[in-house]
């Protein structure tokens, strides 16, 4: 179940055999290669040098490693960029983002699509049936370094074509965008400009379409690669390595091109990326927050329709966050087990050996810089390999009791129009997830509009545009449902619905929202009733038409309502209110909960249960539990596993 990312082109060929042998000795079965190697494969146009890659594949396969080959399109080589500068992306200020690092292309460039097709086809033909090859990775981390959106001439051209298809006539476009506002009416599709460089904010409907357009570009670019690979590489699966906290494109749509999802797990790096308080950042600096990796494991299980890998697992300090501490001893092992507990098929470390050169020379590997000597992380990976042998075959993940809806478009629309600058959709979802996991619950992410049958509790932190499919899924659902603020607040054209929010959920919730107030940091509105705490950041004025009010704000306005089994929370809850609401809905759903301390998490995989201690204190398992692995008293940075039922 273990893998590693390897760059044969970084090391003298005389070292490959030793590397491959040592990988096998450590307990590694899969090796991902090739995703940045274009300049070595084709140093000049049509001058192909495959011999080194042939030999590398042979060495790895002969050692018994299963190869995952990446297409090299994240790094177009210099000669290609020089010949076709139109492939380069532009930033929001209209500056070209040039050659010299990676991901220097826009998905809108027709030239780049053509060139990508060419190189992917040549590689897929050459290696598609290689006996050592088990699967493919398309490109590398779509969207990394803010590269989903691009603001150049190629983008404008493609955006206009996309709008023509979507709206058919410019009158319909004017209608949808409500361009009558501020005299923005357009005479033809050629009048459309990119939403940039304006005096004040551009039209939000234009921006949302611009985001949808780019999201579609990523999915269609990926599909182009997948179609070519499938034609030439029968029997091999295809994945893409997604990122943490990047929602710039619809990952479900890309997931639909793939056989399985994978993602790149850098739990400590993400502590700096997520809007944690300084206190939390310090607390979790060397372990990561206990929900960062699990949140993404659960998300990518949904993106991969049940199947996911960790393609890149942090093996020690990284190089790219503002600060890059060494993980506490035991954390590389713990993260690996955490991924496995959530159903990862393979955990693959980034990277085999730390490079002593170039941009990532401060990024740890399983081996020390330039050497054949295991790092701390390397030794922990070795330990996991031995433990995996002892545990034997692991059962598959079963359906969780809780469904949590994550919606990419809600991220886009609330980013475009936050209304309060700290209304951050991903943060809201993460905090709700954290609160559920503190109750010891297992969670499945579910795509909006998919069936919710079989769940006991459904959580919708926020979904701005409720499609008919989503409305039906909620309407047919027998579970206890919790709907969060701002849901149903926009239609597909980014307009407030005629019936007012929550729009299509008006009947189901029994509510109508007539006002919204956003609260600056430090302000709050106390909530009391069946639950207590406070609303912060975002607070709605609800008319409870056919719902019952369970808790209210200081002036008596409803804060939490219920109609049948549908709960509606009319604010961004503070920690206390959030905890109370989750306890209430879990109880209503009949779920058995635990009250876990902030540093402990549990997860079931079939009949196996895992407990993880992120520190700093011991945690003792209930007395009737006899661990299969680990101890009854779980020390900080340790894991215990036992059989349930």
C-beta closer to ligand GAL: residue 233 or 354 = 354
| Peptide bond before residue 524 is cis, with ω within 30 degrees of 0 | no
CB 363 → ligand GAL: shortest distance, Å?
Answer: 5
Which region among 139-147, 207-215, 255-263, 436-444 touches ligand GAL (by CB under 6 A)?
Answer: 139-147
CB 603 → ligand GAL: shortest distance, Å?
Answer: 25
CB 266 → ligand GAL: shortest distance, Å?
Answer: 6
C-beta closer to ligand GAL: residue 141 or 222 = 141
Beta strands in 430-469 (DSSP E): 443-446, 457-460
Binding mask 360-379 for ligand GAL (x = CB under 6 A): x--x----------------
* By CB under 6 A, residue 10 contacts ligand GAL: no
CB 351 → ligand GAL: shortest distance, Å?
Answer: 8
Cα–Cα distance measured from residue 313 to residue 13, given in angstroms and rounded to the nearest whole number? 25
Contact 503, 568 (CB under 8 A): no
C-beta closer to ligand GAL: residue 214 or 240 = 240
C-beta closer to ligand GAL: residue 144 or 178 = 144
Q: Active-site residue numbers? A: 141, 312
Q: Residue 411's closest CA among 260, 585, 570, 207?
A: 207
Residues near ligand GAL (CB under 6 A), total: 11
96, 225, 279, 511, 553 from 573: Cα distances, Å: 42, 43, 20, 18, 12
Token look-up 């470390």 returns 349
* By CB under 6 A, residue 248 contacts ligand GAL: no
> Which residues 291-350 are close enough to bind ligand GAL by CB under 6 A?
312, 318, 320, 350
Q: Residue 487's closest CA among 371, 368, 407?
A: 407
> Longest Cα pair distance anywhere in the chain, in angstroms?
76
Contact 582, 439 (CB under 8 A): yes
Which region among 137-145, 222-230, 493-501, 633-641 touches ligand GAL (by CB under 6 A)?
Answer: 137-145
Which region among 136-144, 329-337, 366-374, 536-544 touches ligand GAL (by CB under 6 A)?
Answer: 136-144
Cα–Cα distance measured from residue 364 to residue 352, given in angstroms and rounded to the nearest whole number? 9
* By CB under 6 A, residue 115 contacts ligand GAL: no
* By CB under 6 A, residue 28 contacts ligand GAL: no
C-beta closer to ligand GAL: residue 140 or 401 = 140
Say what angle helices 292-303 and 331-341 make with each other, to 10 degrees.
Answer: 30
C-beta closer to ligand GAL: residue 363 or 447 = 363
**CB-based contacts of 404: which residues, under 8 Å, 6+ apart?**
298, 429, 432, 433, 436, 443, 444, 445, 446, 458, 459, 461
Which region among 24-32, 140-148, 153-161, 292-300 touches ligand GAL (by CB under 6 A)?
Answer: 140-148
Contact 613, 637 (CB under 8 A): yes
Cα–Cα distance measured from residue 221 to residue 87, given in angstroms and rounded to the nearest whole number? 13
Token look-up 């500056």 returns 95
Cα–Cα distance measured from residue 603 to residue 611, given in angstroms and rounded to the nearest whole number? 7
CB 243 → ligand GAL: shortest distance, Å?
Answer: 6
Token look-up 């709050």 returns 524
Token look-up 């008006």 returns 506
CB 186 → ligand GAL: shortest distance, Å?
Answer: 39
CB 130 → ligand GAL: shortest distance, Å?
Answer: 23
* By CB under 6 A, residue 266 contacts ligand GAL: yes
Contact 186, 174 (CB under 8 A): yes
C-beta closer to ligand GAL: residue 328 or 363 = 363
Token look-up 């990326």 returns 273
Would you state the structure tokens that stand for residue 548, as one six-digit string? 């019952």
CB 264 → ligand GAL: shortest distance, Å?
Answer: 5
C-beta closer to ligand GAL: residue 293 or 544 = 293
CB 241 → ligand GAL: shortest distance, Å?
Answer: 6
Please, what is the Cα angle at 123 between 43 and 223, to 5 degrees? 115
* By CB under 6 A, residue 144 contacts ligand GAL: yes
Distance in Å from the first CA to the final CA of the chain: 26
* By CB under 6 A, residue 140 contacts ligand GAL: yes
Contact 636, 327 (CB under 8 A): no
* By CB under 6 A, residue 141 contacts ligand GAL: yes
Contact 511, 504 (CB under 8 A): no
CB 377 → ligand GAL: shortest distance, Å?
Answer: 13
* By CB under 6 A, residue 264 contacts ligand GAL: yes
Contact 302, 445 (CB under 8 A): yes
Q: Residue 68's closest CA among 310, 321, 411?
A: 310
Cα–Cα distance measured from residue 147 to residue 139, given in angstroms and rounded to the nearest whole number? 13
Enumerate binding residues for ligand GAL (CB under 6 A): 140-141, 144, 264, 266, 312, 318, 320, 350, 360, 363
């Amino acid at each position: 179940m273990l893998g590693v990312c390897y760059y044969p082109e970084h090391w003298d060929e005389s070292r490959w055999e030793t590397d491959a042998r040592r990988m096998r000795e450590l307990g590694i079965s899969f090796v991902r290669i090739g995703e940045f190697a274009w300049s070595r494969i084709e140093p000049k146009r049509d001058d192909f040098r495959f011999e080194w890659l042939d030999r590398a594949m042979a060495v790895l396969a002969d050692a018994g490693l299963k190869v995952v080959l990446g297409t090299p399109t994240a790094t177009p080589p210099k000669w290609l960029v020089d010949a076709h500068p139109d492939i380069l992306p532009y930033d929001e200020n209209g500056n070209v983002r040039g050659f010299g690092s990676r991901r220097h292309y826009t998905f809108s460039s027709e030239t780049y699509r053509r060139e990508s097709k060419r190189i992917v086809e040549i590689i897929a033909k050459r290696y598609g049936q290689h006996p050592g090859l088990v699967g493919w990775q398309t490109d590398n981390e779509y969207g990394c370094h803010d590269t989903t959106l691009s603001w150049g001439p190629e983008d404008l051209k493609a955006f206009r074509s996309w709008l023509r298809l979507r709206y058919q006539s410019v009158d319909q476009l004017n209608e949808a965008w409500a361009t009558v506002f501020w005299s923005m009416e357009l005479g033809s599709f050629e009048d459309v400009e990119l939403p940039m460089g304006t005096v004040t904010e551009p039209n939000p409907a234009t921006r949302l379409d611009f985001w949808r357009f780019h999201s579609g570009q990523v999915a269609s670019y990926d599909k182009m690669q997948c179609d070519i690979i499938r034609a030439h590489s029968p029997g091999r699966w295809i994945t893409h390595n997604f990122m943490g906290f990047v929602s710039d494109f619809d990952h479900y749509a890309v997931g639909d091109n793939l056989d399985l999802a994978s993602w790149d797990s850098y739990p400590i790096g993400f502590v700096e990326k997520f809007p944690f308080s300084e206190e939390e950042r310090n607390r979790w600096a060397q372990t990561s927050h206990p929900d960062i990796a699990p949140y993404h494991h659960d998300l990518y299980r949904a993106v991969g329709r049940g199947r996911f890998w960790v393609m890149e697992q942090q093996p020690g300090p990284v190089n790219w966050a503002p600060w890059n501490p060494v993980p506490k001893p035991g954390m590389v092992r713990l993260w690996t087990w955490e991924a496995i507990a959530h159903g990862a098929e393979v955990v693959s470390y980034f990277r085999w050996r730390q490079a002593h050169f170039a941009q990532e020379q401060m990024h740890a590997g399983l081996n020390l810089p330039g050497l054949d000597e295991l790092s701390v992380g390397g030794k922990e990976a070795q330990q996991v390999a031995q433990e995996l042998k002892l545990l034997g075959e692991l059962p598959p993940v079963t359906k969780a009791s809780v469904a949590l809806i994550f919606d990419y478009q809600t991220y886009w629309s609330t980013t475009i129009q936050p209304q309060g600058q700290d209304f951050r959709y991903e943060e809201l979802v993460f905090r709700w997830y954290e609160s559920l996991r503190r109750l010891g619950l297992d969670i499945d992410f579910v795509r909006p509009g998919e069936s919710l049958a079989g769940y006991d509790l459904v959580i919708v932190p926020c979904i701005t545009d409720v499609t008919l499919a989503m409305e039906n899924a909620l309407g047919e659902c027998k579970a206890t449902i919790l709907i969060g603020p701002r849901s149903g607040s926009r239609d597909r054209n980014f307009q407030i619905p005629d019936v007012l929010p929550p729009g299509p959920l008006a009947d189901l919730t029994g509510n109508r929202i007539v006002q919204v107030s956003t609260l600056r940091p430090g302000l709050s509105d106390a909530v009391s009733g069946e639950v207590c705490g406070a609303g912060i950041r975002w607070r709605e004025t609800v008319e409870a038409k056919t719902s019952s009010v369970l808790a209210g704000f200081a002036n008596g306005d409803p804060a939490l309502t219920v109609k049948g089994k549908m709960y509606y929370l009319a604010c961004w809850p503070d920690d206390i209110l959030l905890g109370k609401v989750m306890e209430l809905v879990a109880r209503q759903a009949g779920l058995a909960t635990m009250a876990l301390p902030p540093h402990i998490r549990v997860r079931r995989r079939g009949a196996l249960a895992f407990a993880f201690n992120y520190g700093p204190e011991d945690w003792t398992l209930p007395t009737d539990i006899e661990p299969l692995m680990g101890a009854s008293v779980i020390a900080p940075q340790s894991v215990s596993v036992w059989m349930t039922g």
